[in-house]
């Protein structure tokens, strides 16, 4: 049903956009107009066929290139049409008011036709150029984001004083990555490069805050040797994200879904990662201790079930002065951690991807995702508690990033 609704929306915008496009090409030679017509509606028919096929053949059976990149091209073209359609909509609203004014003035039919022709000329001369410019901005920027932005790994340094951190852990270095979504990668080269960058940081620990896969455990098969290269002297710790549970695809049986989930757990452990599922590890250095705590996914929405149990995860850490929590969804921080667990010093999250789209310049950042999540990228503080939301290493849906680049975070913690 979801795909049918999306297809209906796409077809509606296609029809409206073509109405505006038709007014732009009205003076083109007939042969050129015919070529534009067939190309335009040919692509629309392809999109309809593609989406209807997705209802019959589950996406996991499709080649990665088609599933990831063809879907992204369709998204890019659709978004570009939507942007241009808003320009046409503004113009149509103006024309409606203009026609209404002409009607109220009581002009003759010939006078109305003259005035109407002026409106059409105005649209051809101005709106055609503006609409094409507006459509070109997302079109070219999103293609750039596919081939460049998606793999432009950015190291972000977070140096901070953390209340409760024992002095023996001064300068404690943690590398955090999140939302790898390895099933979206057509090639192994980008993730190999990312792992090399991570290991070059020589961190004491590595945190992986969920969404290793899109849906299926077998997505990791091509990356086993790469993920196994992640090393840190005090451990590589991971938690599960909403995509790791396999809640979104269609399964032949619950048993099949269960096997997929158990396989993913085994795979993470085979890499040498310490997967924390509502549990903790006490780490000691020269007699001083900190707790590394990990919860399963705790979401706010009903679409993402609640698997985490923070009370259980914290069991046995009551006397530990510093608790570092891995929790995939940043909603969890406001919903439970800040209110009920003031002894959790710092939370490490991901999930938002920064929507893979936005603007980040010194002292300013913006993304549409901020209207959903109060904490969506970077460091946040309430009282003596901190949250860091990683922007994600991979991508899903749209196979690219515009403005919000893939992130490798280097946390350097110091006692207060």
DSSP code per residue over 134-197: HHHHHHHHHHHHHHTGGG--EEEEEEEEETT--GGGTTEEEEEE----GGG-S-SHHHHHHHHH
Domains in the chain: boundaries: 2-147, 149-415
Closest CA to 378 of 98, 87, 156, 145: 156
Fold of 149-415: Purple Acid Phosphatase; chain A, domain 2 (3.60.21)
Strands across the sheet containing 385-389: 279-285, 288-294, 323-326, 346-349, 385-389, 378-382
Q: What is the pLDDT of residues 306-337, one digit of tens each?
A: 899 999 999 999 999 999 999 999 999 999 99
| Predicted pLDDT at 103 | 65
SS3 state at 35? helix
Query: 165 to each of 112, 274, 349, 359, how far by Cα in Å?
Result: 78, 22, 19, 34
Tell me 384's DSSP state.
Answer: T
Closest CA to 394 of 190, 117, 125, 155: 190
Strand-pairing partners, residue 325, are 293, 347
SS3 state at 324? strand
Contact indicator for 121, 377 with CB cutoff of 8 Å: no
Instruction: Indicate left, alpha or beta for 211 from its phi (over 0: left) and psi (-120 to 50: alpha).
Output: left
| Predicted pLDDT at 328 | 98
Q: Which two tokens stand for residue 66?
A: 């088609």
> Hey, how many other C-beta atoms are within 10 angstroms of the C-beta on 415?
17
What pTM was computed for the model? Answer: 0.89
Q: Which two tokens stand for residue 199?
A: 């290991």
Q: Which parts of the chain have pLDDT scores under 50? A: none
């Amino acid at each position: 049903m979801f795909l049918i609704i999306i297809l209906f929306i796409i077809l509606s915008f296609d029809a409206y956009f073509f109405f505006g496009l038709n007014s732009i090409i009205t003076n083109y030679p007939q042969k050129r107009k015919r070529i534009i017509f067939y190309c335009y509606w040919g692509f629309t028919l392809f999109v309809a066929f593609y989406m209807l096929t997705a209802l019959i053949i589950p996406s996991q059976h499709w080649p990665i290139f088609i599933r990831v990149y063809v879907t992204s091209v369709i998204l890019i073209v659709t978004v570009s049409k939507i942007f241009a359609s808003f320009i046409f909509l503004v113009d149509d609203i103006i024309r409606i008011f203009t026609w209404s004014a002409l009607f109220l003035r009581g002009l003759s039919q010939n006078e109305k036709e003259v005035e109407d022709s002026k409106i059409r000329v105005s649209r051809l001369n101005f709106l055609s150029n503006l609409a094409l410019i507006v459509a070109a901005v997302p079109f070219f920027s999103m293609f750039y984001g596919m081939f460049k932005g998606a793999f432009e790994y950015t190291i972000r340094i977070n140096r901070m004083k953390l209340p409760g951190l024992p002095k023996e852990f001064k300068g404690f270095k943690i590398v955090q990555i999140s939302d790898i979504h390895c099933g979206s990668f057509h090639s192994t080269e980008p993730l190999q490069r990312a792992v090399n960058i991570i290991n070059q940081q020589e961190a004491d620990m590595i945190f992986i805050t969920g969404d290793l896969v899109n849906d299926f455990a077998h997505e990791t098969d091509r990356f086993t040797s790469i993920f196994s290269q992640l090393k840190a002297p005090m451990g590589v710790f991971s938690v599960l994200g909403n995509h790791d549970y396999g809640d979104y695809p269609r399964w032949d049986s619950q048993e099949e879904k269960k096997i997929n989930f158990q396989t993913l757990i085994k795979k993470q452990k085979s890499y040498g990662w310490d997967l924390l599922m509502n549990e903790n590890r006490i780490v000691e250095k020269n007699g001083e201790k900190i707790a590394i705590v990990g919860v399963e996914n705790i979401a706010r929405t009903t679409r993402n079930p609640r698997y985490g149990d923070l009370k259980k995860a914290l069991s046995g850490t009551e006397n530990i002065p510093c608790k570092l929590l891995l929790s995939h969804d940043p909603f969890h921080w406001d919903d439970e951690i800040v209110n009920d667990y003031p002894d959790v010093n710092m939370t490490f999250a991901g999930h938002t991807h920064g929507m893979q789209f936005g603007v980040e310049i010194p002292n300013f950042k913006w993304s549409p995702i901020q209207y959903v999540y109060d904490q969506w990228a970077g460091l946040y503080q309430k009282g003596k508690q901190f949250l860091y939301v990683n922007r994600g290493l991979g991508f899903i849906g749209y196979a690219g990033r515009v403005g919000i680049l893939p992130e490798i975070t280097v946390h350097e913690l110091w006692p207060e």
